[in-house]
Each structure stands twice: as structure tokens, then as C-alpha cells.
Amino acid sequence: MKIICLAKFIPDVDHFVYDYERNVLVRENMDLVLNPDDACALAYALALKKNRQDVEVEVLSMAPLSLLPNLKELLRLGADRGVLISDAFFSGSDTYATSCIIARYLADAQYDVILSGTHALDGDTEHVPVQVAELLGLDHMAYIVRFDDDSFLNGTCVFESEFDNANARFRVRLPCVLGVLAESRYKLPFVRYENLDLNVDDRVTVVTNEELGFSHEEVGIAGSLTKVASTWQPQMKKKEQVIVGNDDEGIETVFQFLKKEGYMP
Amino acid sequence: MDNQKILSDLSKFLTPEQINTNADDLYDARADRYKKYAKAKKVVDTPSPTAIVYPKDAEEVQKLLEYCNANQVNVIPRAGKTATEGGLENWKEHTLVIDCKNLDKIVKIDTYNMQATVQAGVQLQRLEDELRPLGYTAGHSPQSKPVAQYGGLVATRSIGQFSTLYGGIEDMLVGLECVFPDGHISRIKNVSRRAGGPDIRHIAMGNEGSLCFITEVTVKIFKYYPDNNKFYGYLIKDVDTGIKVLREVVANGYRPSVARTYSEEDAKQHFYHFHEGKSVLIFMAEGPLGIVNATGEGIEAAVEKFKDGIVKQVDSKLIETWFNHLNWSQQDLDDERQGMIDNDKHDGFTTEISADWETIPKIYYNVVNRIRNEFPRAKDITMLGGHSSHSYINGTNMYFVYNYDIKAEPEDEMRLYHHPIQTIIVEETLKLGGSMCHHHGIGKYRNQWTEEEHGSAYYMLEKLKAAFDPNGIMNFGTIFPQAEGVKYQQLDKQ
């Protein structure tokens, strides 16, 4: 069984540096990490591969070539193959054009299921997998928090989705596109010590427009019909630090703070 | 020889209650706190010992050692189980962990002669609890005080938080009883001082279970004057200032029980409620009132001398409160273990070194710079600092403390994080003539530098090992490097 995992790399928002004086995000030296929901999807795929010898995992990402090392790290985790769709020709593509590009690659690919994250943490681009499914004519479900142990047997997948504070179980026919939530807590492993320097070059493919054959009007800025009406910079305030003593007054201050913030009844 | 045969043989001279083959306990005995994260995650790859045994007296220890010596069974002496450098880790398929649980008697508290005799499994806290109502103290207070046992304290050359006044365990130890691999029981008598040849207490003290098994110790006790305690705390400009003030106090002949200086980073985690981003200098004076007052004056004079580096004095109550909550109990250890399982993180690691006054600041800055610039995973470090906490007339220690986001599988954590950091600390220390191990011992993970630590004097250590443990059955791999152990150390790709 072959699983293709869609992977988006985003800025590491847990470790960003903010310049409060200029009110801008400091992007220099910022790490890029795998989108948390995508990471859970891949984590599930790799865990399944570990338990089932017939499972093959391919990671598919559309990103600049500079992210090739990030993709290779995912292969060192245990993915069998990595595909990076990357071409300056695609620069400026909006989510619809991006979906078209990814779908065209997938149209000729072999797979039983496509896994992705449900949300993208850096810009609400969660509709890309949905659009990809639509373009491929596949069913799509998201908000998955747990797969049943017998999923992907007998041509179906059984899972539990969590949406609007309700959980529901579904059985979906393969092939399909499935979106996993970070709340699933499927955890991506770390690269093992012996694989840190593993050469995975022969398992990585870079796909350009030469293979996909889009025209100038279909992708990039010209092919992107989404127009940005306006943008704004969120104003972030430096949090005030209050130091209290280890005494009754200090305890009262902490108590009142927790109460105000809703941590205490 | 196989493990079943060993167990069968043991049953001939030990009761079933004295032989523990519980799978969880044997897993626990595979490693010590060096591999605390891997251990909590249940991925320790070293072998389980054959059994943990609990002798009741020196004669049973004698039988056990004779048996192991005759049958090439590795022995790991254990008392307190708070080792941090791999000293209790097992590298052999056939191993007996000889635990001091049943050697738990306080033999004698002799207040007139100011000494107490205890068996090796007596917890330090227990003796202290017996001494306090009598108006005395053991004067020994390592952070592991509620858990540590005397056999382990002596075998690892332990030191406590009040060492500047009371000294390390080597200053407290009067005499002891120990058993050698051939079954010989030696008793070193309790006298105030003697010139009867080399001080043979030092053969047993610090042997880390690699030469003999300590069964009983006699230590000095001290009068306890808690009402006279005085605390001093200062925010200071940097580590250098702190070291200079510590030196001034000690070199002038004062002996505060506590004399410590913390780097900014270390102060942040210890004194979050008042550090203000500065380094911290603290003292505690204890003893008879006249001495406490004189010590206090000495501290204030030293602070005044280096006032350019002093930011401000802090409320002494803050220091007193902090001291009263410094030790970690079994509950703290259990909480950290559960935290590692649940949250994939721990409370960090330490490496403790020593050198003379002049050299310590150089080592500190060299180490911090190298780690920040050369350690491949420096960006994962969440805390890197240190403190000097044990001072002597000619120098002091530096206790490097560090923590990091563990971006590695538990099996790989030590070789990707702790060991490379520790390597930098040890290399910089040895390069400048310091000691790589102030008070945690060498264990199994610093044995690659034992020869460099001792230089030409390593000859003496080797001869001791050859003489007392010719068959190499005592704590295989501890202190003395072993080629067979490299596969567990996994240091090949540093």
C-alpha cells in the first residue's frame, strides 16, 4: 500500500523573535518546520509503515529548492521517497494554482491514499488538500484525530473525526484524501543517530514545470485569480513582567492574576 | 556459567527474600541517572543484571564477593542509587548488584568523641534526624541528602552544600570496614589522626565500587547551632566578581558553611523571584555565635572590597527560604521521571569540575563560548550556566548546569546532547590543569579521560586495581576504561 503525505514547511512560530520596537517579525535565521498537522499525518504513516511491511510512504512538498534539506530530513525519519515540486515558474501561485500544480503531479502518481494536515498554521491554506481532492475526483475528509487499527485493510479506511466539539466515526473508500489534526497526537520521531548523515539523494526527486507542462497563464502570478484586498500588520505588545515576593502579598497577586485570566474559578 | 546457575548458587547462602529478580527492578538496575531519560522511556539497551542481592552483614558480602571472584561474575555495589555518571550502569551479562538495603543499622552515636558509626545502607537523612535532637549534625548535606546512603557517599567522595565549613566526606570519614573481592574484610580503626603509613582510608574512599565493597563507616559529627545561622545574598555584575569575593572570604581564613556564586543563567532558574537578570552571590554563616558574627564581618568586608561589582544586597530571608527547599527527595525524583515520560523533557544535567582560583573563571568562559559556538545543537540549549558552590583555600569548583529541548529519540539523547557538552567541559578543564570530576565521581562515562585526569599518577590507580581486583569483577567499566564497554558508551561518532 502506498501513502503519499503532503508536507508544507512553515516558519517555526514557537520560536520566533519579534522586534517590538519596529513591530515586525525577525525572519533572519528563522527555522522552517513541518506544519504540525502535516507532521501528525506523516507520523501516522511512518508508524503504520513500521508495523506493516507492505506500506510505502512518499512525502510530497511544493516549495523552493532551498527546502530540499528539510525534505531529506523526512526521508531520514523513514519515508521511502521524497518529491519536491519546485520551479521559479510557479512563484506567486495562489492556493488554487498550487492545488492545480500538486494535483497534476498526483494525477500520474500511484497511491492508495493521500494524507495531509487539516490546518496550516501559517496562513489558513487548509483548502489546498480539499481542492486537490476535488481536482483528482477523490473523496476528502478532515479533522481526523484517530485511525482505527484495521484502517487501510480491505480498501477502506476507518477513522474518528473531531469537529465542533463532536466526534464521529467514518469509513471511507480508498483512494481518498484525508486530513489529520495535530490533536491526534501522532508524534513524528526524531532522526536516529545512525541516520543523521544518511545520504538519501537517490530517493529524492525534484519535479519542475518541464514535467508538469503548465502554461504561463495557468500558474504563478498570472494564473492566480486571488487578489489581496488589503493587508495589515498585527500589533503585538511586549508582555509586562511582574515580580512578586514569596509572601502573602505575592501569593494574592498571583491568585488575582490567575483569576482574571480565567484559570481560577 | 549462566544466570540460572548463578541464582541457584546464590540460594545456597542467601534467603529468597535476599535475592531480587523482579523484572522491573532489574530493568531499573541496568542504568543510573546518567541515562535517566532513556530509562524513563524504557529504552535502556544495557543488559539487566542477574539479580539484586541484599546481604545482611559483612560476612554475607564476603561470601558474595568470594563467589563472584571465583566465577567471574561482575559486582555492582549499590547504596542510595543516586549516581549520575554511569557508576551504577551494568555492562555485563552476569552481574550481581549488591545493594545495602539490609545494612541499615546506626551502630553508635558517640557524642563525647564526636563521631557516629553507621552501616553502609543508612540514609544520611536518617542519621541527621537522629543527631539533631541531640544538638548535633553530620555536617553533610548533598542535594540528594534525603535519599543518599553512607556507603555510596563514601564510595563516591561525596560533598555537601555546607562543605566550606565542614569539608567533604573525606574530611569527615574517621574509619571504615570494607570487603575485597578475595573475601578479605578490612577494618580501618577510628582514631583522631595517625602517621601509620599512607592513609589507607583513601583506597576505599572514592573507589566507586571498583576495588572493594564498603560495609560500615564512622564519621565525625558536629555541634549544631541553628539559631545562630546568618544568610547573605547579593546581586552581582558577573561570575568573576563572585569568584573574587568567594576567594577573599576563604583566603582571609573565614569558613562560611555556604559560599556560592551563580552565573546569570543559573541564577535565573534558582532565584527567579529576585535575580533581576544578574549573577548572584550567597553566603551562610553557622556555628557558635562569635564565629558566626566574625564570619559575617568577613563576608561584609569582602563584599565592600569588591563593591564595584556588587549591584545590591537582597533580603536574607529570601536566601534562607531558598536553602530550606534545596534538597531533592524521592518524590522529586519520581516527579522528574513522570515528567520525562509525559512531556519528553527533563530537569537538565550537570558537570562539576574544580581548579585553582585563577583558572576557574577562564574555564567557565572557555566552556560557555565553546558550547555556544561549537556544539552542533547549540540552538536547542534552553539553559547554560554554572555556579561555584564549594570553595577551598586554593581554589573552588564550577558546577556547569545545562538543559535543552530534546530533539532526539531517547536512545540517542546522551550522545547527541549531554556527552558532547560534557566533553567540551572536560577538555577545557583538563587543558588548564583542573580536575574533570569535583564530586560526582568518574563513573563509566568519564572513564575515557581517567588516564588524562591522573597523568603519570594513573600508574598508582592501575596498580591498586591490579592488586585488589585482579580478576576485574568489581564494577566493570567504572573509573577504569574497558574496550568492551565502548559499545554501550557509543562514543564512536562524536
Residues B219 and B240 in one domain: no
Residue of B nearest to A250 (CA): B273
Residues B159 and B177 in one domain: yes
Specify if B453 maps to a domain. yes
- Which grid cell sits at B367? 566552556
Residues B158 and B269 in one domain: no
Answer whether B409 sits within 8 Å of A190, measured CB to CB: yes
What integer best gives the mean pLDDT of chain A?
90
| Shortest Cα–Cα distance, A241 to chain B (Å) | 11
Please check whether residue A189 touches B, CB under 8 A.
yes
Query: Per residue in B122-154, pLDDT tens?
Result: 999 999 999 999 999 999 999 888 899 999 999
pLDDT above 60: residue A30: yes
Residues in B closer than 8 angstroms to A250, CB to CB, are 273
- What's B201's domain CATH number? 3.30.465.10
- Residue B426 backbone dihedrals phi, psi, to 5 degrees: -65, -45
Please check whether residue A50 touches B, CB under 8 A.
no
Q: Identify the domain boundary among B300, B323, B346.
A: B323
Query: Per residue in A87-122, pLDDT tens?
Result: 999 998 999 999 999 999 999 999 999 999 999 887
What is the C-alpha to C-alpha distance for residues B136 and A57, in angstroms, rounded to an integer?
A: 68
Residues B104 and B129 in one domain: yes
Specify if B4 maps to a domain. yes
Secondary structure of residue B311 in the 3-state scheme:
strand
Least CB-CB distance to B407: which of A190, A243, A246? A190
Residues B147 and B289 in one domain: no
Residue of A nearest to B272 (CA): A243
Least confident of A19-28, B164-173, B226-235, B246-255: A19-28
Residue of A nearest to B317 (CA): A246
- The pLDDT of residue A234 is 62
Specify if B288 maps to a domain. yes
pLDDT above 90: residue A248: no
pLDDT above 70: residue A15: no
Please check whether residue A14 touches B, CB under 8 A.
no
| Shortest Cα–Cα distance, B339 to chain A (Å) | 17
Helical (H) or strand (E) element with B451: helix B450-454
Over residues B256-264, the mean pLDDT reads 97
Residues B177 and B317 in one domain: no
pLDDT above 60: residue A141: yes
Specify if B466 maps to a domain. yes
Q: B409 falls in which pLDDT band (50, 70, 90)?
A: very high
- Which grid cell sits at B8? 541457584
- The pLDDT of residue B466 is 98
Answer whether A246 sits within 8 Å of B490, measured CB to CB: no
Please check whether residue A16 touches B, CB under 8 A.
no
Q: B334 falls in which pLDDT band (50, 70, 90)?
A: confident
Residues B148 and B7 in one domain: yes
Q: How many CB pairs under 8 A join A and B?
A: 26
Query: Per residue in A73-91, pLDDT tens?
Result: 999 999 999 999 999 999 9
Helical (H) or strand (E) element with B204: helix B201-204
pLDDT above 90: residue B197: yes
pLDDT above 50: residue B494: no
Specify if B166 maps to a domain. yes
Specify if B214 maps to a domain. yes
Answer whether B318 sits within 8 Å of A189, measured CB to CB: no
- Spatial strand order of the sheet with B173-179 comes to B106-110, B115-119, B213-220, B173-179, B185-188
| Shortest Cα–Cα distance, A224 to chain B (Å) | 38
Number of domains in chain B: 2
The full set of domain ranges for chain A reads 2-212
**Omega into B361 within 30° of 0, i.e. cis?**
no
B266: containing domain: 226-323
- The pLDDT of residue B84 is 93
Of residues A227 and A237, more confidently modeled? A227
Please check whether residue A243 touches B, CB under 8 A.
yes
Distant-in-sequence, close-in-space partners of B18: CB < 8 Å, separation ≥ 6? B53, B54, B55, B56, B60, B102
Residues B6 and B24 in one domain: yes
| Shortest Cα–Cα distance, B408 to chain A (Å) | 5
Least CB-CB distance to B412: which of A192, A243, A245? A192
Query: Quick one: fold of A2-212?
Result: Rossmann fold (3.40.50)
Answer whether A190 sits within 8 Å of B411, measured CB to CB: no
Answer whether B490 sits within 8 Å of A193, measured CB to CB: yes
What is the C-alpha to C-alpha distance for residues A116 and A190, in angstroms, rounded to an integer?
A: 19
Closest CA to B216 of B57, B55, B439, B13: B57
- The pLDDT of residue A245 is 78
What integer best gives the mean pLDDT of chain B?
95
- The pLDDT of residue A249 is 87
What is the C-alpha to C-alpha distance for residues B73 and B241, in angstroms, rounded to an integer?
A: 52
- Is the separation of the CB atoms in B6 and B73 below 8 Å? yes
Residues in B closer than 8 angstroms to A245, CB to CB, are 273, 318
Specify if B420 maps to a domain. no
- Best probe of the A interface among B43, B235, B273, B487, by most A CBs < 10 A, is B273
